[in-house]
Amino acid sequence: MSEQQRHSEGQRPDEQPGRRERHVVIVGAGMAGVQTAVALREQGFTGAVTLIGAEPHQPYDRPPLSKAVLLGKAEGSAFDVDFEQLGVELRLGEEITGLRPQDHELDAAGGPIGYDVLVVATGAEPLRLPGTEGVPGVHLLRTLDDAERLRPVLVEQHSVVVVGAGWIGAEFVTAAREAGCAVTVVEAADGPLAGALPAEVAAPMTRWYADAGAEFRTHARVRSVETGAVVLDDGSRLPADAVVVGIGARPATRWLAGSGIETGPDGAVVADASLRTSAPDVYAVGDCASFPSTRYGRRLLVHHWDNALQGPRTVAANIVGTEPAAYDPVPYFWSEQFGRFVQYAGDHAVADTMVRRGDADGPAWSVCWLRDGALVGLLAVGRPRDLAQGRKLIESGAPLDPEKVADPAVPLKSAQA
C-alpha cells in the first residue's frame, strides 16, 4: 500500500494493516494527566488518546494558584499545550464515577467510556475541616475556582484564620500578608511543617510567620467555625472574615471503590515499579499513586509537582513498550514562602545522621541527611546550589565527609569522602 493510499483510507503511516491501534484514556487533567498525553506522543504513540477532566477549565498548572493567580497578577495558568495538534481528545467537565476493569470501561454521567489502556491521574483532594463543609467563608485552595473565590478576600483585606501550617498554608499566608490581610495561623502540632520535617529542623521557620506580621498559634485545635469567628478547643475566639483550611490532602481515588484496584491505607493506588496497578492495562501516576522505591527501600507517596512531571514519562514508555521502564526518582519539591525559596530533595526518613549547614537564623542554610555516609535527603533554604549538587549526590550514592558537609563554604560536590 502506498503512502498516498494510507492517507486516503485514514490509516496512519506507521500502522500495520489488520492491527487496531490501542485507545489510551487518561482520567485526570492536571499535570500528571497532561504530561502523560504529551509523553505518549513524544515517544511515538499513534493511537487515540482521550484526556478526561472533572473541571470545566482548560487544563492548568496548580503552583501559580497560591501565588500569581491568587494575588490577581494572572488570570489563569493554562498549560501551553496544543491538544488538537497533538491529536488528544479533551473531555472536560466530566466526572468519572466508577471503573470496571473486567469490561475495560469507565462509568460516567454520559454513559460508559471504553478503553484499551487506562491511566489514573486524578491527583489528590484537600482534607476538609470536620463540620465545615458548606459553611460560608470557609475556603480550600486546590483548584482554579478555589483561587478565584479567595481572590476577593485578599482584595478586600479581610481578617483571615489559616488552619494548618503546612506548605500550602505558608504560601497562602505569604500572599495574604502581601495583600494586607490580618492573618492568624492555628496549628495542632508544635510547629510548622509537622508532617514533613523533624520539629528541630522546622522550628526556625516559626519566626518567618512573626516576621511577616502573622500571628502563629501552636497546639491549637478548631472546635467550630461561626459567623465571623473561629472557636478553638480552649474556648478562644479568633475574629475571621474568612477561614482557609490547609490540613493536608489525600489521593482522589474514592471513585475506584468496588473496582478491585488495590489501594493502600493512605488511599493511594498501589502501583508497581512500572506504575502498573493491580488491574491489567491500568496505570496510575502522580499524587494518587504510591510506588516502590529501591533507592529508599520503601513505598513512596509523593504529593508534589515534580512527581507529576516525571512519572508520566515512565507510564508512556511502558505503554509504548519500546523498553521496560522503572520509576525510582529522587523526590523533589519546592515552596516560595515569606520571601524565601525552600527546596527539598530525597527522603530523610531513612537517614541515620543529620548535618546542619549554615546558620538557621540566617537567610540561607541547609540540612543534609546521610545514611551510611551517603546523602539521602536535603533541605535547602535560599541555597539552590546546595540543592542542585545534592540532588546529583543522592542519585550517585557517593560517600561524603560529614565535616566538609557541615562547612557551608565547601561546595557539596567537593564534600565527597
Query: pLDDT tens digits for 344-365?
Result: 999 999 999 999 999 999 999 9
> 0.85 cut: is pTM over it?
yes
Contact status, residue 269 vs residue 289, Cβ threshold 8 Å: yes
Domains of the chain: 3-12+20-125+250-320 (3.50.50.60), 128-247 (3.50.50.60), 339-414 (3.30.390.30)
Query: In this model, does residue 10 exceed pLDDT 70?
Result: no
Arithmetic mean of pLDDT, 240-261: 96
Span 106-125, average pLDDT: 96
Residue 175 has pLDDT above 90, yes or no: yes
Q: Are 381 and 335 in contact (CB under 8 A)?
A: no
pLDDT at 16: 39
Report the share of the chain in percent with pLDDT over 90: 88
Mean pLDDT on 337-343: 96
pLDDT at site 133: 86
* Averaged pLDDT for residues 11-27: 63
Q: Who contacts 41 (Cβ-Cβ below 8 Å, separation ≥6)?
A: 49, 86, 87, 88
Average pLDDT of the residues in 25-45: 97
pLDDT over threshold 80, residue 14: no
292, containing H or E segment:
strand 289-293
Task: Identify whether the C-beta of residue 118 lies closer than 8 Å to the C-beta of residue 283.
Answer: yes
Residue 313 has pLDDT above 50, yes or no: yes
**Helical ranges in 43-113 per DSSP H:** 83-86
Mean pLDDT (the chain, rounded): 93
In this structure, are residues 92 and 72 in contact, taking their beta carbons and an 8 Å threshold? no
pLDDT at 1: 33
pLDDT at 13 over 60: no
Mean pLDDT of 199-209: 96
pLDDT confidence tier of residue 279, bands split at 50, 70 and 90: very high
Q: Is 21 helix (H, G, I), strand (E, B) or coil?
A: coil
Residue 46: predicted pLDDT: 96
State the pLDDT at residue 18: 39
- Res. 6: pLDDT tops 50: no
pLDDT band, residue 67 (cuts 50/70/90): confident
User: Mean pLDDT across the stretch 78-90?
Assistant: 97
- Give pLDDT, residue 8: 31
> Is pLDDT above 50 for 9?
no
Each residue's pLDDT tens digit, 380-401: 999 999 999 999 999 999 999 9
At CA 330, angle to CA 328 and CA 332, rounded to 5? Answer: 130
pLDDT band with cut points at 50, 70 and 90 for residue 20: low
Residues 399-413: tens digit of each pLDDT: 999 999 999 999 999
Confidence band of 12 (pLDDT split at 50, 70, 90): very low
- For every residue of 169-218, DSSP letters joined together read HHHHHHHHHHHT--EEEE-SSSSTTTTTS-HHHHGGGHHHHHHTT-EEES
Any idea what DSSP says for residue 145?
H
Contact 96, 108 (CB under 8 A): yes
